[in-house]
A = this chain, B = another copy of it.
Amino acid sequence: MRVTINDIAKKAKVSASTVSRVIADSPRISAATKEKVLKIMKEMNYHPNMIARSLVNRSTRIIGVVLPGLAEQSFQHPFFPELLAGIGSSANQKGYKILLANVDTVDEEQQMVKELTYGGITEGIILLTSRDQSPTVEQLVKIGFPFVVIGRTDNPCVNWVDNDNFLIGYQLAEHFIQQGHRRIAFLGYSPGYMVTRDRMHGYKKALEDHQLPFDQEMVVESQFISGQGYDLMKLLLARKPRPTAVIACDDLLAFGAIKAIQEAGLQVPDDIGVAGINNVPLADYYNPPLTSVKINAFSLGTKAFEMLCTVLNSNVQSYNRAIIPAELVVRSSSRREKG
Chain A residues close to B by CB (< 8 Å) = 2, 47-52, 54-55, 60, 62, 65, 69-70, 74-78, 80-82, 84-85, 88-89, 92, 97-102, 104, 108, 118-121, 225-227, 229-230, 252, 255-256, 258-259, 262, 280-282, 284-287, 298
Q: Is the CB of A97 within 8 A of B101?
A: yes
Q: Is the CB of B281 within 8 A of A226?
A: yes
Q: What is the CB-to-nearest-CB distance from A226 to chain B, in angstroms, rounded to a whole number?
A: 5
Q: Is the CB of A88 within 8 A of B62?
A: no
Tell me the bound Cα distance from A70 to B77 in angstroms: 15
Closest residue on chain B to residue A283 by CB atoms: B226
- Most chain B Cβ neighbours within 10 Å, of A50, A82, A230, A262: A50
Q: Point out the residues of chain B lying under 8 angstroms from A100, CB to CB.
A: 65, 84, 88, 98-100
Q: What is the CB-to-nearest-CB distance from A169 to chain B, in angstroms, rounded to a whole number?
A: 24
Q: What is the CB-to-nearest-CB distance from A208 to chain B, in angstroms, rounded to a whole number?
A: 33
Report copies per complex.
2
Closest residue on chain B to residue A229 by CB atoms: B285
Q: Point out the residues of chain B lying under 8 angstroms from A89, CB to CB.
A: 69, 102, 104
Tell me the bound Cα distance from A104 to B91 in angstroms: 13
Q: What is the CB-to-nearest-CB distance from A257 to chain B, in angstroms, rounded to a whole number?
A: 10
Q: Point out the residues of chain B lying under 8 angstroms from A55, CB to CB.
A: 49, 51-52, 55
Q: Point out the residues of chain B lying under 8 angstroms from A85, CB to CB.
A: 69-70, 75, 102
Q: Is the CB of B287 within 8 A of A121?
A: no
Q: Is the CB of A47 within 8 A of B226?
A: no
Task: Write 5 A-B pairs (CB below 8 A) sorted by A numbering.
Answer: A51-B120, A55-B55, A84-B102, A88-B102, A256-B285
Tell me the bound Cα distance from A229 to B284 in angstroms: 12
Q: Is the CB of B80 within 8 A of A81?
A: yes
Please tell me which one of the listed residues B77, B84, B101, B121 contacts residue A51 in the complex, with CB atoms under 8 A apart: B121
Q: Point out the residues of chain B lying under 8 angstroms from A121, CB to CB.
A: 50-51, 62, 97
Q: Point out the residues of chain B lying under 8 angstroms from A120, CB to CB.
A: 2, 47, 49-52
Q: Point out the residues of chain B lying under 8 angstroms from A2, CB to CB.
A: 120
Please tell me which one of the listed residues B62, B75, B118, B259 contacts residue A81 in the complex, with CB atoms under 8 A apart: B75
Q: Point out the residues of chain B lying under 8 angstroms from A69, CB to CB.
A: 85, 88-89
Given A55-B51, A97-B99, also A259-B285 (CB < 8 A): yes
Tell me the bound Cα distance from A80 to B59 in angstroms: 30
Q: What is the CB-to-nearest-CB distance from A231 to chain B, in angstroms, rounded to a whole number?
A: 11
Given A65-B100, A119-B50, also A284-B70 (CB < 8 A): no
Q: Is the CB of B282 within 8 A of A226?
A: yes
Q: Point out the residues of chain B lying under 8 angstroms from A227, CB to CB.
A: 284-285
Q: Point out the residues of chain B lying under 8 angstroms from A285, CB to CB.
A: 226-227, 229-230, 255-256, 259
Given A50-B120, A226-B281, also A81-B88 (CB < 8 A): no
Tell me the bound Cα distance from A229 to B256 in angstroms: 22
Q: What is the CB-to-nearest-CB distance from A181 to chain B, in angstroms, rounded to a whole number?
A: 23
Q: Is the CB of B75 within 8 A of A76?
A: no
Q: Point out the residues of chain B lying under 8 angstroms from A70, CB to CB.
A: 82, 85, 298
Tell me the bound Cα distance from A100 to B98 in angstroms: 6
Tell me the bound Cα distance from A280 to B78 in angstroms: 11
